[in-house]
Amino acid sequence: MKDIVNNSVCQARQDSQAPEYDVAIVGFGPTGATLANLLTLRGLKVVVFERDKDVFQLPRAVHFDGECMRVFQAVGIAQTLLPDLFVGPGMKFVNARGELMIDWSRPGGIGPQGWCASYKFHQPDLERSLRTQLSARGGADVRLRHEVFAIDERDDHVRIRYEDTGRGRLAHTTARYVVGCDGARSMVRRFIGTELADLKSHERWVVVDVLLERERPDLGDYSIQYCDPARPTTYTRGPHNRRRWEIMVMPGDDECRIGTAEWIWERLSRWITPQDAQLERSAIYTFHSVIAQGWRRGRLLIAGDAAHQTPPFMGQGMAAGIRDASNLAWKLADVIDGALPDTLLDTYESEREPHVRTFIETAVQLGGVIQARDSDAVAARDREMTAAIREFRTPQPRLGPGWHAGVTGGQVGPQPVFEDGARFDDAVGYRFALVADDVLARRAQDALTQDERERVAIVPATSDALRDWLAQAGARAVLLRPDRYVGGVAHDADDLDALLVRAGVARAGERREAVAA
């Protein structure tokens, strides 16, 4: 009895102490590693738990877009990544006769995000870069071969129990918040108790990665969706000598042979032979389309595949997780720092869920074109789509309801690249940025203390690119959030004051009358 009482007293004493960490992240894939980097940029103390001992060495995701590259720019690895990226020109959908049905071409030059629209990459390279940058910056304890098995919520923190599987030891720690970036079978999601909404697309495919032994320009740089009812197949080029095929599993396939080397080379014989390339990896996947209905409960949150899963037909699976991390990081930082209220975290799901749903639903629709097998439906599809080739454009959805306002609120802002090659985000840093005409910029400068200007970068619109941006927004000032989405716009001094106060710079409102005078 005495031991029980002593243990209870020790536990109560631990619970009364300040949490050891600001944020605990479960899972150290691209989403978790990006989130950890962004949180440490804000000076938060982070712990990361990962059950594996090293980066998974084989490719999985192969594509990200210009918006993701902008996040990697904020993290500080964009230039490191560039030599091992391939700028993708787009994707074409062809039928069994090779006739073009959908043309999804991407511009090759620098786009509105300050980067190209489409990049092909090797996931282990990305993960190593993220981990190296996190280690160099400091501020995060990374615990590899550590598996979390229990999460206990308290009023002002979370107690995380875990096993050091390398040593066979059990231990625990505390954090203010826990974010599950732990994949499709997320343990954190189970603790939240959320359910998955099924968007009704679940098909088995074999994903095959090869390394070419020699140059094969005839394979092409475009990704190709072969919408052949006999065997839907996807081809995509990766960086350097990497190529990928995705092969749909069909009714009647021999379950004992699916995914074997012999089966794979039979499927690939139209394009390459064993003399042309070596198999690097093959895996059988079921391409799911689901969205969690509840991304937060109290101090527990989820991101990446733990929150949503999409078929790969738009190349937006990993990209969605990177956007989650970008949306969530600054909100956690502002709540923990006390700049904005805890209710800000409720806008994470309300903003991101409709946004990612747009991409998943579009991927499901494209999957319907690719995977169609009914002969009548395929014939109708071919007649309609070859008669008038469809030019597809990547959706640009706004965020759902949340921390933004106005006509342009919730849209990702552009990143001008200036004449000297400098990019806007590098100039302002990882914080709020107010782009304003000369009059409102001076007002903001006068209204804010030096400490407050550390939180909000004031950027006078002196360049043509910035003046054009304000003109397109129909405003005299635009407030960009740290994740580079538009938080709101101002048309006059009163609007400006309201924007600054909303961004957590409270004294701006208090000094409003003095500045006006």
Of 104, 59, 107, 68, the closest CA to residue 87 belongs to: 107
Residues in the chain: 517
Residue 25 lies in a domain: yes
What is the per-residue pLDDT for 16? 60
Name the pLDDT band for 511 (thresholds 50, 70, 90): very low
Asked if 341 and 435 sit in the same domain, the reply is no
What is the per-residue pLDDT for 5? 44
Residue 373 lies in a domain: no
Number of domains composing the chain? 2
Please give the sequence-ordered ranges of beta strands (E in DSSP) within 137-241, or none if there are none.
Answer: 140-144, 146-153, 158-164, 169-180, 195-198, 203-212, 223-227, 233-237
What is the per-residue pLDDT for 388? 83
At 320, which CATH number? 3.50.50.60
Name the pLDDT band for 516 (thresholds 50, 70, 90): very low
Q: Which tens digits make up the pLDDT trace of 124-146?
A: 999 999 999 999 999 999 999 99
Asked if 33 and 169 sit in the same domain, the reply is yes
Q: What's the average model confidence in pLDDT over 176-191? A: 97
Per-position b or e across 355-381, b if 16+ CB within 10 A of its CB: bbbbbbbbbbebbebbbbeeeeebeeb
Q: Which of 336, 361, 386 is the last residue of a domain?
A: 361
The answer to whether residue 185 scores a pLDDT higher than 70 is yes
Asked if 344 and 470 sit in the same domain, the reply is no
Name the pLDDT band for 510 (thresholds 50, 70, 90): low
Asked if 153 and 8 sit in the same domain, the reply is yes
Asked if 48 and 141 sit in the same domain, the reply is yes
- 504, 479 Cβ separation under 8 angstroms: no
pTM metric for this prediction: 0.94
DSSP code of residue 420? T
Residue 246 lies in a domain: no
What is the per-residue pLDDT for 43? 96
> Residue 116 is encoded by which pair of tokens?
């190209």
* Portion of the chain with pLDDT greater than 90, in percent: 85
What is the per-residue pLDDT for 56? 81
Residue 147 lies in a domain: yes
Asked if 434 and 512 sit in the same domain, the reply is yes
Q: Which tens digits make up the pLDDT trace of 351-404?
A: 999 999 999 999 999 999 999 999 999 999 999 998 888 999 999 999 999 999
The alpha carbon dihedral of 275, 276, 280, 286 has a sign of negative
Asked if 429 and 310 sit in the same domain, the reply is no
The answer to whether residue 308 scores a pLDDT higher than 70 is yes
Q: What's the average model confidence in pLDDT over 237-266? A: 96
What is the per-residue pLDDT for 380? 94
Q: Which tens digits make up the pLDDT trace of 142-156?
A: 999 999 999 999 999
Spatial neighbors of 29 by CB under 8 A, at least 6 apart, are: 127, 181, 183, 304, 321
Position of tokens 């280690």?
135
Asked if 439 and 301 sit in the same domain, the reply is no
Spatial neighbors of 207 by CB under 8 A, at least 6 apart, are: 244, 245, 246, 281, 282, 283, 284, 285
Asked if 324 and 439 sit in the same domain, the reply is no
Q: What's the average model confidence in pLDDT over 342-355? A: 97
Q: What's the average model confidence in pLDDT over 70-76? A: 98
At 496, which CATH number? 3.40.30
Residue 389 lies in a domain: no
- 233, 245 Cβ separation under 8 angstroms: yes
Asked if 431 and 511 sit in the same domain, the reply is yes
Q: What's the average model confidence in pLDDT over 48-66? A: 90
Asked if 55 and 151 sit in the same domain, the reply is yes
Q: How far apart are CA 304 and CA 183, in angstroms?
A: 7
Containing domain of residue 458, as a range?
424-516
Q: Which of 361, 382, 415 is the last residue of a domain?
A: 361
Q: Which of 315, 340, 361 is the last residue of a domain?
A: 361
Asked if 455 and 352 sit in the same domain, the reply is no
What is the per-residue pLDDT for 517? 33
Q: Which tens digits make up the pLDDT trace of 202-248?
A: 899 999 999 999 999 999 999 999 999 999 999 999 999 999 999 99
Residue 208 lies in a domain: no
Collapsed DSSP state (helix, strand, coil) of residue 465: helix
Of 405, 487, 473, the closest CA to residue 437 belongs to: 473
